[in-house]
Amino acid sequence: MAQTADIEKFYGAAIHLLRWWGLRWSARKLAKESGVSAGSILNFERGKTIPSSEMRTKLARPLGVTPAGLDRLASAVQRGMTGRKKGSTTRKERLVTEVAANLADAFYRAVVPLVEKLVSAQDPGPRAVSDEEVLALGPVVRSLETQKLQFLVSHAPSLCRWAFVKAVGEESERAASVDAGRALELADFAFWVAERVSGEEDWASQVFAWVYLGNARRVGSDLTGALEAFACSARLQAERPEGRRDIPEAWRLLDLEASLRIDLRQVPEALRLLDEAAEMAPRTGPVQASLLCIRANALYRLGDMDGSIAALQRGLAHIDCEDEPRLYFMLQSNLAETMTEIGQAAEAAAMFPELLKLQAHVGNGLNQIRLRWLEGKIDAGLGRIDQAIETLAWVRAAFDLEHIHYDEALAGMELAGLYLEQGRTVDVKRLVLQMEPVFQSQGVHEEARKALNLFRRAVELETVTVELVRRVVAYLYRAQHNPELRFEEQ
């Protein structure tokens, strides 16, 4: 075995592997259990400092290994990161080092101990790892290109199973709030894996793969393609092969379909699906909080602001920010946005600093755009008009680049209202000319067209008021998903 001096720089990756992949602990949790500060633990994992022998001993016990076991894991990480040792000729070592060499960067080459199991020289056919270990491969899926993931699966055929389809699908869902293109790429890969699953899990794998593909298409604004994918999943469910077990975690199929029904303006059907999912789902905090987040969105689209806020608050009570930063961010940002809509911008502003901190956990992309949009709304609600105009102009351009044109037009309507407050009628007219065709291209229904025509005429006659702009904007938010909603001209 290598001397400690040779492997000391690999202890950080080994600690992270055990902490996050093995136990799914936060750095704060490990700090509490070991007596080593969270800052020190993160510095070890990032390679900024090297843990002393005393520190390694303190950390090993709560991580579930002996100090010698931590040495062996660090040595395995070193072996995968630096290549095959001279003279190694076993099939296992050749495959392990080849796979490790094709992983994207040194950090994720810490997967080597798991790969060692997957490509076991004795018999690669039987499952070498548990479903729980496969589901923990999310960080690897998140970081690697599809080509490298396919390379990994080709050398570890036991990954062709329902658990890995689920792991990839969940990463697709996670990516959706940051990069719609990446979400679709991962959903396509989940489908690629599902087609290679054999035995009793083949049916359930394809049922799930179609749903994850549908969700990715929905996020990419391809609602027709999303509906087709969900229909394929439904047909498969109806044609269940004889002898197949029930679909694991079937409630996930319902909550993903509920999000599609909301976007298809079928909110009552979405609420029905969520009721059914809540009955089937585990009573654990994160699961129920996730369902409440979707329910709050549905209620918001119906104009039930009080019900939406109550659902979001119930969801936040189910989880801890440290353990579920991404879900906490979604609930908290939706709550702040809803409070801004009902005139409580000061309360939303008090929540905003925490949201900025949480953004580091959820990434940029669409999350960043929507957080800036919220910032602009808060500034407008607090009377900081110049700041709000600058922010909303950035948001509108960002949505345009992402080809999310309905939201681009909504941000433009809000911007028009701010221009009106400053007496900039020429800018208001310019925006109206730009936004009207965008709304029309998004297939707005007859009542929404009436509201837009009323607004355009008021602008042309220079009788438009800030109050009218606010009413039209509030209506267009809700009307996007509720074609039965009428616009009251007052």
Domain boundaries, the chain: 373-479
Q: How far is CA 311 from CA 3, 115, 185, 377, in A?
A: 56, 42, 32, 22
> How far is residue 186 CA from its own chain's centroid?
12
Task: Count Cα neighbours of 477 within 13 Å in the Cβ-side half-sphere.
Answer: 21
Spatial separation of the C-alpha atoms in residues 320 and 284, rounded to whole Å = 12
* Chain length of the chain: 490
Cβ neighbours of residue 111 closer than 8 Å, sequence gap 6 or more: 17, 80, 100, 103, 137, 140
Q: To which residue do tokens 């616009």 refer? A: 487
- pLDDT of 85 above 50: no
Q: To which residue do tokens 């298809």 refer? A: 264
The string of pLDDT tens digits covering residues 343-390 is 899 999 999 988 888 876 666 567 788 889 999 999 999 999 999 999
Spatial separation of the C-alpha atoms in residues 400 and 431, rounded to whole Å = 14
Is the CB of residue 150 less than 8 Å from the CB of residue 192? yes
Mean pLDDT within 322-346: 89
Cβ neighbours of residue 207 closer than 8 Å, sequence gap 6 or more: 233, 236, 237, 247, 253
Spatial separation of the C-alpha atoms in residues 59 and 177, rounded to whole Å = 35
- pLDDT of 143 above 80: no
Greater pLDDT, 228 or 96: 228
Q: In the chain, pLDDT over 90 holds for what percent of residues?
A: 32
Q: Mean pLDDT over all residues of the chain? A: 80
Mean pLDDT within 145-152: 80
Spatial separation of the C-alpha atoms in residues 415 and 438, rounded to whole Å = 15
Question: Given this model, what pLDDT does residue 110 score?
Answer: 44
**pLDDT confidence of 102, banded at 50, 70, 90?**
very low
The residue type at 121: A
Report H helices in 83-161.
91-102, 112-118, 131-135, 138-143, 146-155
Run of H or E including 232 = helix 223-238
Question: Given this model, what pLDDT does residue 292 score?
Answer: 95
State the DSSP string of 167-226.
Answer: HHHHHHHHHTTT-HHHHHHHHHHHHHHHTT--GGGHHHHHHHHHHHHHHHHHHTT-HHHH
Write the burial class of residue 424 (CB in 10 Å: 0-12 exposed, 13-18 middle, 19+ buried): middle
Spatial separation of the C-alpha atoms in residues 118 and 160, rounded to whole Å = 11
**pLDDT confidence of 104, banded at 50, 70, 90?**
very low
Question: Given this model, what pLDDT does residue 145 score?
Answer: 78
Spatial separation of the C-alpha atoms in residues 487 and 490, rounded to whole Å = 9
